[in-house]
Chains A and B, each alone.
Chain A
């Protein structure tokens, strides 16, 4: 990895001004960025570590919304959201392995928007709001295809606000070598309808499965999506699974998530 200057500001304001420097990049838990830098696929001049910012850490529930600081680790979400939002805690508790969960952050995961990552499914599946140092972005506008988001250069995810569903669940079909999702589905039931978000499957990255949302909003049971099918067109086709296999898994994982929702 090429050398860089390491800075660790204590406030969002200081981090934002450090990010304004030439070739500066945010560092969350480093679980994606450091391996990328070792491969010399990224070579920032300055790394701005966000994990020293107390305001960007922690989980709190109020008025039906769970707010998670952008630098909160997966392990913290797994333990602290367990009571208020078990579907999300379950998702966080199955990301990678324990050591990855002790470092990796929700802000890093959402900024990276890996097409097989777990958190994007929860953010889109709850209609979350991504809060940055400059604005608030609705999840429906935030995800813009594989590794692509609405974030501007230098913008920092300071927190994420997720409406807490009446019932929810995330089912991940694990790609056993990477432990990412071969296909993952997040299902969330609200008073005004059901949302279904799919990760791992599509070449467009995380997306909603609207046909399933309509069927489940009318009847929240696994049988409601029995007749639905997902087209293999546009699904990721690689050595781990064909597009048709992934399309089939979307239905299977959705049924499992509905059956397990709590």
Chain B
């Protein structure tokens, strides 16, 4: 066991972990931040995407020990300061960007990483960026639409209503 310290969603967090403890397990089982989902556990599906030092990573494929000292943001840290949904989360709700919601935390975290890098992406850029985020329900269309809307772009033209 080794002690890890990190900042999670702006607050200090620490715990004792084994070498093999995954960041996803540490967040879910020790910090009880169960918004981060584990879908495949093989770095394929992206349900577990969180930000580590501002970069999107798959938390099922990173050790908790590797995040020692890091700033980690999970979907629980995405809401506005007053607790209301942030612009990306609200857009997912407004544009029906989810059905079962299992992929949604990863989608929101990937979308936030994309919009930080590229504030006005094209539809093609959104689709390419989401290559590592799999959704079994929506067919992606409304996810793409929500992200375009969150970037402040008019989504009337891309939408099948």
Contact = CB atoms under 8 A, between A and B. Distances in A.
Interface string A127-158: 00000000000000000000000000000000
Contacts, number: 72
A49 B67 CA distance: 12
Given A97-B131, A97-B132, A35 B42 contact: yes
Interface string A64-82: 0000000000010000000
Interface in B49-76: 49, 55-58, 61-63, 65-66, 68
A30 B19 contact: no
B66 A51 contact: yes
A241 interface: no
Interface residues of B, number: 27
Nearest to A6: B19
Contact of A99 (B20, B49, B65, B66): B49
A34 B22 CA distance: 10
Given A4-B19, A97-B46, A100-B43, A30 B62 contact: yes
A31 B113 contact: no
Contact of A100 (B2, B58, B65): B58
Contacts of B20: 1-4, 37
Contacts of A75: 55
Contact of A49 (B41, B57, B66, B129): B66
Interface of A: 1-6, 8, 30-31, 34-35, 37-38, 47, 49, 51, 75, 96-100, 102-103, 179
The 4 A-B pairs at the shortest CB distance, nearest first, are namely A97-B132, A6-B19, A97-B131, A102-B55
